[in-house]
């Protein structure tokens, strides 16, 4: 406000010119303090982000167009060859398929389970806090520890799951041979870890639903299931969208679980459970080909961007729907 | 431009190496008081797994050389060491002496100009093929050989007896003497008698056969011959046709495989010296294990490491001296007693500490003497190019696919050909 007024004053030609004022250094300092300090206070984050976030991203883009030798720190510009190589690899497409397959196997059952567990926890039960904290326990465990335990359970010959199956007279499942079952096994690890986390977020959203709705519905004679379907679910929409988007981004970057699934960590002999990040890691740190790894990183980035955009469009539509309702 | 890039890469390498923070920390603290005016030198040595370089052994050197202090950093696995090595080679932060495993040694040899040369008086003390593998195109020897992995055959005498096969280790050696064909027919015999697989894994057989070839996947001049090499195709076909049916597993090191060591799922394993520890560790309760002084198709070597001295280190001369001492015959025998790492030089093979050594777990088998015989039976040093690991890994996958029944013999071979032609 004042700034605009001053500027108008100065630009007006008919005003008498003010005599130049000598400003002392301390005055100037306090002026700078006012102008610069806020930026200094918020700068640590942006400096950190530029160093560990932006810079590596930009440098990755540069390297992705080069044949890079890490040891000698030199590279040769070769254009889009690295991208072409990646897209021409059958492994890449298998990895893409696996990533989406594992993502679907984990995200869908996980969210359905999370909604129902949250609905249970939303009711009047004894020792509420205990149960609510309980669902978060798996999330606190280190992913590698989870993967270690589960890959032991999913052993082909001596695993716990197969031992139980054969004891009951069912055939043993070839967890490390069949692509479908390996995805199920890996998705189980993901679900174990993330269901509780999503449950708590959805529970928080459920608690925010005004209780009046339920009271009115009860008066109208709606049963618990009808209430869940007609009140709880629609009110959860915005939260569900958030949960779905975070699950998508996480799912497309899945790494720990497939890496720990066998002793080599390279996704299986026929790439049964090779995911994009696993493939990226192998090209970079297994074959020391940073040019190709950087190109793959950018391809993954674009994939996530596209999926993110689709998510955004869907979100907008759903939210508008809700507004109309 | 180059300067800028190198600084940037360093930053990236720093960020990326979160996994090896411990190694970085020690690497950075190393130069602080080394090379001071009073002649005191602090030497860092980086190894992985267990090289048998115990504190007592290093103290021995420090007692002989009072001006030297040794700091020993041990990485958990050779993979960690590999990542650390290539991130820092040619830059800063490597230890004065760095251990390199034979699997990624050829990759390191691509940068042999960044490594210090082994002093002339140390040359010639290693087994010929061990030394040849560490000599680059210009004739510079850049690696101090530590251990080798001469392969014999470990077997369960109790299971052999149950199948009607001989159990005494000299008789077993005589039984398995000969080529791979003979080995497979004994295996078939065992399988026919018991219905169980004879050997632990098909890919260990592939490893054994490939380690007996002159050239595997690349020619010394750098051309890739993997898919045209008839020997490799033969090896693949032999393994798929003969080894897959008599193997318990496709590959080694899985949870199932470790669990199987103790429960008699198979009767034999191809075993280099360092495998003895794996077996006794995996099946401490089992009493039937023994070692036969024989290997199908002659001698075979699997594994073994080198010590290298990065040329831009702060104390290259002192480091060369220590590496020389550590890999001298007497110290190699001590390392063998400490950790079972088998010496790579013929002089050590006259040492009584080695010749008289018996392994209690393996029914008191004279594993020292067997190792010497097996090491001397190795006549071929397979040429392993810089992409050996990639090619071999992909071929192992091909065998695994057949074993798992995912693809048939020829489909799996073709998949491999397509896969590796993109390398």
Question: If you average pLDDT over residues B260-274, what whole number do you get?
Answer: 89
For residue A63, give the 3-state DSSP assignment. Answer: helix
- Nearest-CA residue of chain B relative to A88? B422
Q: Which of residues 374-403 of B touch A (CB under 8 A)?
A: 390, 393, 396-398, 400-401
* Residue A267: φ, ψ to 5°: 85, 15
Contact between residue B147 and residue B304 where contact means Cβ atoms under 8 Å apart: yes
Whether this prediction's pTM lies above 0.90 is answered by: no
For residue A1, give the 3-state DSSP assignment. Answer: coil
Given pLDDT bands bounded at 50, 70 and 90, which one contains residue A238?
confident
For residue A289, give the 3-state DSSP assignment. Answer: coil
* Position B305 pLDDT exceeds 50: yes
Q: What is the pLDDT of residue B189?
A: 95
Sequence length of chain B is: 423
The β-bridge relationship of strands B305-308 and B144-145 is antiparallel
Q: CA-to-CA distance for B98 and B146, rounded, in angstroms?
A: 12
Q: How far is B128 from chain A (nearest CA, A)?
A: 29
CA dist A247 → A201, A227, B356, B372 (Å): 12, 27, 62, 58
* Position A240 pLDDT exceeds 60: yes
* Position B11 pLDDT exceeds 50: no
* Position B148 pLDDT exceeds 60: yes
Q: CA-to-CA distance for B296 and B178, rounded, in angstroms?
A: 6
Contacts of A159 in chain B (CB under 8 A): 255-256
Given pLDDT bands bounded at 50, 70 and 90, which one contains residue B386?
confident
Beta carbons of A70 and B260 less than 8 Å apart: no
Compare CB distances from A72 to B12, B90, B251 and report the shortest one's residue: B90
Question: If you average pLDDT over residues B27-50, what whole number do you get?
Answer: 66
Contacts of A282 in chain B (CB under 8 A): none
Q: What is the pLDDT of residue A94?
A: 95
* Structure confidence by residue, pLDDT tens digits, B41-51: 999 999 988 88
Given pLDDT bands bounded at 50, 70 and 90, which one contains residue A320?
low
* Position A95 pLDDT exceeds 50: yes
Q: What is the pLDDT of residue A14?
A: 62
Q: Which of residues 2-21 of B touch A (CB under 8 A)?
A: 2, 5-6, 8-9, 11-13, 15
Contacts of B111 in chain A (CB under 8 A): 71-72
Sequence length of chain A is: 325
**Position of tokens 């059952």?**
A109
Q: In the predicted model, what is the mean pLDDT of chain B?
A: 86
Q: How far is B343 from chain A (nearest CA, A)?
A: 28
> Which range has highest mean pLDDT (A250-264, A310-324, B204-218, B370-384)?
B204-218
Q: CA-to-CA distance for B314 and B34, rounded, in angstroms?
A: 8
- Nearest-CA residue of chain A relative to B391? A287
Compare CB distances from A155 to B8, B13, B256 and report the shortest one's residue: B256
Helix A90-121 vs helix B409-421: angle between axes, to the nearest 10 degrees?
100
Q: Tell me which H or E stretch contains A238.
A: helix A233-252
Beta carbons of B260 and A52 less than 8 Å apart: no
Q: How far is B159 from chain A (nearest CA, A)?
A: 20
Beta carbons of A270 and B407 less than 8 Å apart: yes
* Structure confidence by residue, pLDDT tens digits, A121-172: 988 888 988 998 899 899 888 888 888 888 889 988 888 999 999 999 999 9
Question: If you average pLDDT over residues A24-34, what whole number do you get?
Answer: 86
Contact between residue B53 and residue B335 where contact means Cβ atoms under 8 Å apart: yes
Contacts of A70 in chain B (CB under 8 A): 9, 13, 86-87
Q: How much of chain A exceeds pLDDT 70, in percent?
A: 91
Mutate to test the interface with B, among A74, A151, A269 (most CBs of B within 10 A): A269
Question: If you average pLDDT over residues B330-356, what whole number do you get?
Answer: 89
Beta carbons of A88 and B401 less than 8 Å apart: no
Q: CA-to-CA distance for B334 and B371, rounded, in angstroms?
A: 15
Contacts of A155 in chain B (CB under 8 A): 254-256, 259
- Nearest-CA residue of chain B relative to A150? B255
Q: How far is B87 from chain A (nearest CA, A)?
A: 7
Given pLDDT bands bounded at 50, 70 and 90, which one contains residue B403?
very high
Q: CA-to-CA distance for B151 and B244, rounded, in angstroms?
A: 20
Q: CA nearest A299: which of A5, A19, A97, A87?
A: A87
More confident residue, A8 or B21: A8
Question: If you average pLDDT over residues B183-206, what whole number do you get?
Answer: 95
Q: In the predicted model, what is the mean pLDDT of chain A?
A: 87
**Residue B345 DSSP label:** S
Q: What is the full DSSP assignment across B235-247?
A: HHHHIIIIIGGGE
Q: CA nearest A273: which of A102, A89, A147, A88?
A: A102
Given pLDDT bands bounded at 50, 70 and 90, which one contains residue A181?
very high
* Position B153 pLDDT exceeds 90: yes
Beta carbons of B12 and A88 less than 8 Å apart: no
Question: If you average pLDDT over residues A261-286, what whole number do you get?
Answer: 90
Q: How far is B392 from chain A (nearest CA, A)?
A: 12
Q: CA-to-CA distance for A146 and A140, rounded, in angstroms?
A: 10
Q: How much of chain B exceeds pLDDT 90, in percent?
A: 58
* Position B13 pLDDT exceeds 70: no
Beta carbons of A88 and B406 less than 8 Å apart: no
Q: CA nearest A250: which of A49, A103, A146?
A: A103
Compare CB distances from A71 to B11, B89, B256 and report the shortest one's residue: B89
Q: Which two tokens stand for residue B163?
A: 């199948």
How many Cβ atoms sit within 10 Å of the Cβ of residue A306? 10
CA dist B39 → B20, B65, B312, B318, B320 (Å): 31, 11, 19, 11, 16
* Residue B380: φ, ψ to 5°: -115, 135
Q: What is the pLDDT of residue A319?
A: 58
Q: How far is B25 from chain A (nearest CA, A)?
A: 20
Q: CA-to-CA distance for A186 and A273, rounded, in angstroms?
A: 8
Q: How far is B123 from chain A (nearest CA, A)?
A: 27
Q: What is the pLDDT of residue A128?
A: 87
């Amino acid at each position: 406000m004042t700034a605009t007024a001053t500027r108008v004053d100065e630009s007006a030609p008919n005003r008498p010119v003010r005599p130049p004022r000598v400003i002392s250094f301390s005055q100037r300092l306090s002026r700078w303090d006012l102008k610069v300090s806020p930026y200094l206070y918020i700068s640590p984050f942006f400096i950190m982000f530029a160093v560990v976030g932006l810079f590596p991203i930009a440098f990755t883009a540069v390297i992705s167009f080069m044949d890079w030798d890490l040891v000698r720190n030199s590279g040769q510009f070769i254009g889009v060859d690295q991208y072409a190589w990646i897209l021409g690899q059958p492994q890449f497409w298998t990895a893409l398929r696996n990533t989406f397959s594992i993502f679907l196997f984990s995200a869908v059952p996980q969210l359905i389970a999370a909604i129902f567990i949250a609905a249970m926890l939303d009711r009047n039960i004894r020792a509420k806090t205990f149960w609510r904290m309980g669902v978060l326990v798996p999330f606190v465990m280190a992913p590698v520890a989870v993967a270690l335990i589960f890959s032991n359970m999913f052993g082909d010959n001596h695993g716990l799951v197969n031992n139980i199956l054969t004891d009951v007279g069912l055939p043993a499942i070839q967890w490390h041979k069949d692509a479908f079952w390996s995805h199920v096994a890996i998705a189980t690890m993901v679900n174990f870890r993330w269901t509780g986390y999503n449950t708590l977020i959805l529970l928080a959203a459920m608690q925010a639903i005004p209780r009046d709705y339920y009271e009115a519905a009860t008066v109208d004679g709606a049963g618990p299931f009808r209430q869940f379907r007609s009140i709880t679910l629609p009110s959860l929409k915005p939260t569900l969208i958030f949960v779905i988007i975070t699950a998508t981004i996480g799912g497309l970057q899945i790494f720990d679980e497939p890496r720990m699934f066998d002793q080599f960590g390279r996704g299986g002999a026929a790439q049964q459970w090779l995911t994009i990040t696993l493939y990226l890691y192998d090209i970079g740190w297994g074959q020391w080909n940073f040019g190709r790894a950087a190109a793959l990183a950018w391809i993954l980035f674009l994939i996530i961007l596209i999926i993110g955009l689709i998510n955004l469009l869907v979100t907008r539509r759903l939210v508008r729907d809700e507004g109309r309702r | 431009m180059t300067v800028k890039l190198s600084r940037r890469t360093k930053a990236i390498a720093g960020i990326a190496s979160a996994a090896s923070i411990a190694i970085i920390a020690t690497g950075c603290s190393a130069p602080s008081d080394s090379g001071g005016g009073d002649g005191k030198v602090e030497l860092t040595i980086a190894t992985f797994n267990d090289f048998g370089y115990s504190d007592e052994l290093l103290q021995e050197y420090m007692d002989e050389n009072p001006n030297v202090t040794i700091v020993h950093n041990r990485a958990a696995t050779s993979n960690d060491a590999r990542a650390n090595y290539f991130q820092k080679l040619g830059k800063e932060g490597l230890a004065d002496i760095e251990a390199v495993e034979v699997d990624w040694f050829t990759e390191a040899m691509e940068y042999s100009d960044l490594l210090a040369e082994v002093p002339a008086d140390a040359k010639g003390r290693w087994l010929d093929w061990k030394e040849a593998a560490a000599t680059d195109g210009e004739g510079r020897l850049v690696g101090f050989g530590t251990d080798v992995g001469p392969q014999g055959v470990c077997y369960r005498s109790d299971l052999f007896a149950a199948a009607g096969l001989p159990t005494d280790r000299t008789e077993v050696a005589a039984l398995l003497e000969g080529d791979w064909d003979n080995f497979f027919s004994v295996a078939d015999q065992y399988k026919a008698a018991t219905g169980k697989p004879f050997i632990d894994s098909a890919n260990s057989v592939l490893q054994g056969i490939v380690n007996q070839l002159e050239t595997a996947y690349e020619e010394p001049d750098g051309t890739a011959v993997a898919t045209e090499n008839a020997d490799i195709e033969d090896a693949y076909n032999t393994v798929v046709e003969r080894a897959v049916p008599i193997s318990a597993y496709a590959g080694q090191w899985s949870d199932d495989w470790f669990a199987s060591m103790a429960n008699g799922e198979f009767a034999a394993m191809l075993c280099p010296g360092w495998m003895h520890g794996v077996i006794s560790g995996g099946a401490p309760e089992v009493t039937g294990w023994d070692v036969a002084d024989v290997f199908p198709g002659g001698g075979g070597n699997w594994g073994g490491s080198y010590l290298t001295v990065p040329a831009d280190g702060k104390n290259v001369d002192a480091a060369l001296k220590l590496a020389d001492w550590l890999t001298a015959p007497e110290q190699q025998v001590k390392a063998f007693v400490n950790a079972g790492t088998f010496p790579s030089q013929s002089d050590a093979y006259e040492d009584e500490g080695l010749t008289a050594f018996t392994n209690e777990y393996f029914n008191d088998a004279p594993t020292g003497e067997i190792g010497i015989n097996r090491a001397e039976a190795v006549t071929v040093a397979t040429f392993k190019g810089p992409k050996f690991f990639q090619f071999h890994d992909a071929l192992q996958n091909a065998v695994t696919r057949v074993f798992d029944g995912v693809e048939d013999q020829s489909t799996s071979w073709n998949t491999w050909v397509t896969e590796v032609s993109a390398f």
